[in-house]
Amino acid sequence: MALTKGHLARLRRALRPHLDGGWERAVFSTPERDGAREEKVAEGPGSGGADEAAIAGLLAAAEAAAQAGFFKQTLVLDARRRVQVDARHGRALQRSLDEATALKVMGGKERALRPDLSEGLLRAIGIMNADGTISARHARKYKQISHLSELCRPTCDRLLRAEPGRPLRILDLACGNAYLSFVLAESLRLRGAAFRLHGVDVREDVVSRSRERAAALGIEGLSFAVATIAAAEAEAAAALGGPPDLVVALHACDTATDEALALAITRGAPAILCVPCCQHELAGQLAASRAAAERAAPLPAIAEHGLLRGGYADLLTDGLRVDLLDACGYAVDLVEFVGSEHTAKNLLIRAHRRHPAAAVSPERWRLAAIAARCEALGVSPRLLRGLQAAAAAAAPSLSA
């Protein structure tokens, strides 16, 4: 639709009364086609007021955008107030994210991350649109990350209580795009808690993206580095200012989960939050040692058929991880972190060290019984091997 001079004059008249107090940004969108729309975002002077030059610039940009087909225009005045104008009609609609509207967005529940308080984070991780709305497509994701933040909260609260006055030190291993790091950082920021959070991943692209995102959000205490889990410890200690209080590993691939758990256990991290990913190690071992596996499996068919063997190997892997955490002094609880309709990898392992202030004593780890059980089952999990190696490395200094 081509706009006339009359349309443009109406657009100016609709926008002008809302500009003197300033605005955060203006969002110019094309109408939606097949569920998609194009969007241009122009940052504004902020909500502290605007001078005539900024106002003239915005009005000119709005006109140009409208002439290019970006009819739907939203002025985001601040976290709660929006003005929407459709250049084809020129009527301004003022919307405010009042409590009732916020509650509707939150699915009728009070959530850890509110759309009005965590707008920056929700936009940075692609859940909230530039105009402050959360589309139906993203509403589910929004609820998932809020839920994840709620599941992490008791652990963070407990650690903050244990060391009042010192920043909480969090190490995110195999952080990828680091959404968990950002969500944790945001929930701590909302509570006014001091923290340092360091994420490591072997992929340079995800690390530099996370650094840019952290800088754009202005979150202090967040840092990221390219490193393997095995090499993470040294530079993490410098970034965190000491050993981690909390080690997190969300969907770290296959045995990277075990490397993360081994690092946390051997350094005596007071708490661990871990969501295992796909796992292949034990399925391969069970296939290779079918005779032993068939003898030890609850039903021989479980070891014999690939599909059943895969499911059994998953359960066995996680079961042995829980056993090993317990044997190394951790109290463990398991929760479903998102519904199984979203991902089959939805088990959150929450582990707290029973005596967090005690020195790490590998000689007290009760690994022998688990090793015997693994032998009978025909498996040798990475985590067990890592812990056995750490215990063996500690042994000479014990006898010296």
Ligand X SMILES: C[S@@+](CC[C@H](N)C(=O)[O-])C[C@H]1O[C@@H](n2cnc3c(N)ncnc32)[C@H](O)[C@@H]1O
Q: Which residues pair with 83 in a beta bridge?
A: 75, 94
CB burial class (10 A; 0-12, 13-18, 19+) of residue 39? middle
Nearer Cβ to ligand X, position 168 or 229?
229
On whether the CB atoms of residues 259 and 386 are closer than 8 A, the answer is yes
Nearer Cβ to ligand X, position 68 or 231?
231
Nearer Cβ to ligand X, position 81 or 198?
198
Residue 277 binds ligand X (CB under 6 A): yes
State which of positions 183-202 bind ligand X (CB under 6 A).
200-202
CB burial class (10 A; 0-12, 13-18, 19+) of residue 62? buried
Minimum CB separation of residue 232 from ligand X in Å reads: 7
Where b means 16+ CB within 10 Å and e means fewer, 242-268 reads: eebbbbbbbbbeebbbbbbbbbbbbbb
Minimum CB separation of residue 253 from ligand X in Å reads: 4
Nearer Cβ to ligand X, position 201 or 314?
201
Residue 171 binds ligand X (CB under 6 A): no
Stretch that binds ligand X, among 49-57, 107-115, 249-257, 365-373 (CB under 6 A): 249-257
50, 87, 106, 252: which one binds ligand X (CB under 6 A) = 252
62, 145, 174, 320: which one binds ligand X (CB under 6 A) = 174
Stretch that binds ligand X, among 130-138, 176-184, 287-295, 303-311 (CB under 6 A): 176-184
State which of positions 253-272 bind ligand X (CB under 6 A).
253, 256, 259
Residue 31, number of CB atoms within 10 A of its CB: 13
Residue 177 binds ligand X (CB under 6 A): yes
Where b means 16+ CB within 10 Å and e means fewer, 186-204 reads: bbbbeeebebbbbbbbeee
Minimum CB separation of residue 208 from ligand X in Å reads: 13
DSSP secondary structure letter of residue 271: E
Nearer Cβ to ligand X, position 115 or 176?
176
Helix axis angle for 256-266 and 306-327, nearest 10°, is 10
Amino acid at 184: L
14, 121, 159, 206: which one binds ligand X (CB under 6 A) = 206
| Residue 167 Cα to chain centre, angstroms | 20
Nearer Cβ to ligand X, position 70 or 337?
337
x/- letters, 303..322, toward ligand X (CB under 6 A): --------------------
For 350, residues 6+ apart whose C-beta sits below 8 A from its C-beta are 151, 155, 271, 272, 273, 332, 333, 334, 335
Residue 337 binds ligand X (CB under 6 A): no
DSSP secondary structure letter of residue 360: P
- What six digits make up the tokens of 384? 């067990």
x/- letters, 218..237, toward ligand X (CB under 6 A): ----------xx--------
DSSP secondary structure letter of residue 33: B
Minimum CB separation of residue 170 from ligand X in Å reads: 13
x/- letters, 121..160, toward ligand X (CB under 6 A): ----------------------------------------
Q: Interface residues with ligand X (CB under 6 A)?
A: 174-177, 179-180, 200-203, 206, 228-229, 250-253, 256, 259, 277
